[in-house]
Structure 1
Amino acid sequence: MNLNSNCGIRTFKILIICIMTIFVSTSQAQVSTRIHNIVLVHGAFVDGSGWQQVYEILTQKGYKVSIAQPTLTTFEGDVAAVKRVVNLQDGPCILVGHSYGGAVITTAGNDSLVSGLVYIAAHAPDHGESEAGNGKSFPAAYKSLIKGNDGWDYIDPKMFASDFSGDLPKSKADFMANSQTPTADVVFHAIIQNPAWKTKPVWYMVAKSDRIINPDLERMYAKRANSVKIVEIEGASHCVYITHPQEVADLIISATDLSKKRTKGI
């Protein structure tokens, strides 16, 4: 074999090694661009157990999922409860909120560990706004809210299924109606300061048959936040996170992909 042949073989081997190195580096980069921590935040009148199916789907895919349990007593206390869970994460996380939980993550999402926000039929008020105020601008269809003389709100159990969970089986809806958590009315009037969605990327799910939050208000929130992705679920009630767990999980998973453009202008 002559010198030129030897040089050609060495050059070919070097080329193969370079290609393999690039392939391995690219594969490793793709793996490293996926966030594995997810924090789920429930809304008013319920607790974190409603996230169970979403939790199971995500954990089966290898994500580390934590469920915060706001007490629904004060807005500041609920934000602190969520931030405590965020600060337990071992790295960046995606923060997910349903309903009133959206207002909570709008503030808690300013934490440096939060890389993105996912709103599931949730409030996303701007600076100086409250969810109660926005609800007046976009009236919802529900007629079941009971305001107690002690400052605590409750959903009439007889109307819970029709207003809150219209697409759940009756037995499940009745159980939720009779196990609901009263919520302090004051939390709905909290004025948002420095909303995180102005600087963090957003993904939004609209429940098209929502009677608790007007779907048009949800659409406004999603558009105003320049959401990376907006998903509308046909026939979904306010309980969309329970009745459509796969679609909710899929949206959250899309938010964990750091390879997508995630920068936002203020």
Structure 2
Amino acid sequence: MSILGKTSAIALMLAMSGTVAHAQTKAKDIVIVHGALADGSGWHAIYDILNKDGFHVTIVQEPLTGLAEDVDATKRVIDAQTGPVVLVGHSYGGSVITEAGNDPKVSALVYVAALQPDKGEASGQLMGKFAAPNDAMRAATTKTSLDKYFFIPADKFRATYAADVPEAQAKFMSDSQQQLAEKAMGAPLSEAAWHNKPSFAILTTKDRVISPELQRWMYQRSGAKVTELAASHAVFVSQPAAVARVIEDAAKQAN
């Protein structure tokens, strides 16, 4: 082979290696943990965006029967990933990722209108820190006849949880909501991953489930990089592109 041919071949190999390296940098595993009173189906639009942009996305379907069970379900999904994981949690799912995020595979945490407890704190304990609009949430939720699970009645769901979501879609979310075990809100965390992992947060300023004031307090305490969105608690449905952008930024900055 001529010197020119060898030079061209080397240049091609370097270009290809650069492309591979870039792909490896972008090819983060993203694991999404939905919140209470919802399931993973609401994340479909974000799933599509992230997949299109080259990320591998898995959505955990927690049973919402207790913090330990929900953390175990998340850990099983994390264990199945091959690379560094960006762990995303919405609402009560923030408590789940704060515990499960201690897994060494997890490189960053993303809190989407989510609880962010510290070691020894329980989800319900945090919800009581700021009265309004959490009082509205407490007034909207009810318990099953077994007095062990919470849900939002259909006539209160959209106004409380998804005010900026089209009515038909909010009705589907209401009719498919997963009830949350009362004991899940009372379980304290054993470790808080945000002490050792970079965290990113979306603060929803029109939230009637988790007070914006509580969100701001938690995210300032943890030193999370905060993005504020004028959205309801269902921001993952009403503003999927904005949420996906924060997740992608977290993936890039966690390298």
Same fold (TM over 0.5): yes
Q: Return the match for 2:144 from 143, 148, 151.
A: 148
Contact 1:35 1:94 in 2 (8 A): no
Residue 201 (structure 1) shift? 0.4
- The answer to whether residue 80 in structure 2 is matched with residue 75 in structure 1 is no
Matched, 1:168 2:141: no
Structural mapping, 1:13-28, within 5 Å:
none
Runs of 4+ off more than 3 Å? 19-35
Partner of 2:124 in structure 1? 132
1:189 is displaced (CA, Å) by: 1.1
- 2-side partners of 1:60 and 1:20: how far apart? 26
Identity of aligned residues (%): 39
Distance in 2 (alpha carbons) for counterparts of 1:175 and 1:21:
52
How big is the alpha-carbon RMSD for the aligned residues of Structure 1 and Structure 2?
Answer: 2.2
Describe how 1:40-189 pairs up with structure 2 within 5 A.
Answer: 40-139=32-131, 140=134, 141-142=136-137, 143-150=139-146, 151-189=148-186
**Residues 176-255 of structure 1 aligned to structure 2 (within 5 Å):** 176-227=173-224, 229-234=225-230, 236-255=231-250
Q: Is the 8 A contact 1:35 1:92 kept in 2?
A: no
Shift of 1:147: 2.2
User: CA separation of 1:102/1:261 partners in 2, compared to 1, >3 Å: closer, same or farther?
Assistant: closer
Partner residue in 2 for 1:256: 251
Q: What amino acid maps onto 1:172 in structure 2?
A: Q
Paired residue type of 2:157:
F
Listed as ranges, the gaps of 5+ residues in structure 2 are 1-10
Letter of the structure 2 residue corresponding to residue 155 of structure 1 = I
User: CA shift at 1:217, angstroms?
Assistant: 0.8
**Aligned length in residues:** 244
Q: Distance in 2 between matches of 1:28 and 1:224?
A: 38
Using the size of structure 1 for normalisation, the TM-score is 0.85
Larger Rg: 1
Letter in 2 for 1:250: R
2:115 and 2:215 in contact (8 A); partners too = yes
